[in-house]
Amino acid sequence: MFAFRKPRRAAATAVSAAVAAPVAAALLPAATAAARPAAGPPVPARYAAQKLAWQPCKEGTRLECAEMTVPRDWHHPGTGEDLRIAVSRVRASDPARRRGVLMTAAGGPGGQGLERPAHLASYAPSVAAAYDVAGFDQRGVGRSTRVRCRSDEEFRDFFAGDYRDRSPAALKSVVEKSRRFADSCRERSGDLLTRITTEQTVRDMDLYRALLGERKISYYGVSYATMIGAYYASLFPQRVERAVLDSNIAFGGTWEEFETGQPLSFQRRFEQDFLPWLARYDDVYHYGRTATEAKAKWEKLRSSLRDRPVPLPGGRVLDPNALDNAGIGAVYKGGNFPVLAGALAALDHWDTATPGEKKLADTVFGTYLSAEFFAEFLSVTCADTPWNRDIGYWVKRSGRDTATHPLAGARELAFSAACAAWPAAGTPRVEVTGKGLPPVLMLNSVRDPATHYEGAVRAHRALRGSRLVTVTGGDHGQYQSGNACVDGTIAAYLLEGTLPARDTTCEANPLPVPARPDVRKP
């Protein structure tokens, strides 16, 4: 998936060694250290000799936070202003059983990871008894050095309107909005845009490992964090004990190839899971007795919003793109289905909707990606791998995807035009093969909208020796969702090193049953 300009393999190995050798040579087995080629400049002592000053993140919690300093560019560590990386951990609750560190990272790209160790430790106490669970805000977001593009107020109009409008004026407006966003990122963040890449992030991660005093780490990552884990394992295979990759991005091509597969997978989840579920509960939501009827009512609503957007209590308006964005967000988890359905039902009697119903609709339709999230998202997806910069190509491609897979296909031009205007990073290639790794545990649902199953299968094939657990259904993110089969498989692997003998399947959690009586009654 991630096809970089390919340097010589020896050069890539030398860079890895240069980054790691001074930081952690004393932490590595002698045979490993001796086998590592000594090439490239050493990491300056100001990075390798740091001490993490742990403090409680929040009063009354076990989550500790600290901060480390990393080079702006790991390939030129003596140049440019350093970056701050906020890190966190929850110490193993049973020191006598402690196995080591289980590192986590956030998805997105654009998610924040600082509080994830606390959530995982709370959900899986047996895992948290045996591991220090560690996390961090990746470079570019949260309490780490952030990419700056626009404020949320300035960003408000980016997703406004109707991406299905294929008139020349509408297409021109979409492209211009995307270019203006990319220009604002350049103006406010400068060369940092080309340093917010997955490859740079995993080098931050390895410095964190060394500062924790660990020879090896185990890893859990979901969504985009599967790519972080795969890259880390490929650059530093001797430092990985166990790795769980949950809801996988394909590792064998480019971001462009991966993201152009999403219109199909979002539409599939919407039409094969959400609409039939909505029709099954027509007595609750009154949205049609069949999926076809429910889809027709959705389309009728969407069409009406072109000329008559609905003002929302929070100050935003519900227009066609906002409706699509709500659908895209809802289909990540089956547990979201009643929330979206309740908001749709409230629109049917908007004039008499209760304050609670209007608040629900405002939450569902009035929020989407923040400016900070989108800045990080584009920084990674546009800079990690090359993009086709031919806007004419994207106008044609987005037209086809809008016609066949409109839920997410209609927004394709906005995302692609932003990447076409993004500064190139020249990131070195990271080839994911599984060489030198223990077997990796991978999980993916068959109708995952965001990390489509087709890409997960390609990732599984690229990562030799991995085991793939296929989960029926379509939720995104399998662990920490109350699925006993999934949780048991992961616990057996992390705690005992036990993997399925071969690829296997887990049944998905059932879709929710909405509360009765009818949501429209007070």
Helix 198-211 crosses helix 224-235 at what angle (to 10 degrees)? 70
Catalytic residue among 189, 218, 223, 398: 223
Tell me yes or no: is domain 9-46+63-137+198-254+428-506 CATH 3.40.50.300: no
For residue 304, indicate whether it is catalytic.
no
The C-alpha angle 65, 67, 70, rounded to 5 degrees, equals: 145
Element (H, E) at 89: strand 83-90
Catalytic residue among 75, 405, 452, 476: 476
pLDDT along the chain (522 residues), means of 10: 31 34 33 29 80 92 96 91 98 97 97 97 98 98 96 92 98 98 96 95 96 97 97 95 97 89 98 98 97 98 97 95 98 98 97 96 94 95 93 98 98 97 88 93 98 97 95 98 98 97 97 75 45
Between CA 99 and CA 161 the distance in angstroms is 52
CB of 395 closer than 8 Å to CB of 413: yes
Residues with Cβ < 8 Å from 234, sequence gap 6 or more? 430, 431, 432, 433, 435
For residue 448, indicate whether it is catalytic.
yes
- Looking at residue 306, its pLDDT comes to 97
Write the DSSP string, 149-170: ---HHHHTTTT-S-TT--SHHH
For residue 476, indicate whether it is catalytic.
yes
- Looking at residue 515, its pLDDT comes to 86
Between CA 300 and CA 154 the distance in angstroms is 30
**φ/ψ of residue 178, rounded to 5:** -65, -45
**Amino acid, single-letter form, for residue 16:** S
Considering the chain, tell me which residue range(s) the CATH 3.40.50.1820 domain(s) occupy: 9-46+63-137+198-254+428-506
- What does DSSP assign to residue 146? B
Catalytic residue among 448, 460, 481, 487: 448
Residue tagged 């060394």 (tokens): 210
- Looking at residue 40, its pLDDT comes to 34
Give pTM, 2 decimals. Answer: 0.91
3-state secondary structure of 444: strand
Question: Secondary structure of 218-262 in the HEC alphabet?
Answer: EEEEEEHHHHHHHHHHHHCHHHEEEEEEEEECCCCCCHHHHHCCH
CB atoms within 10 A of CB 5: 11
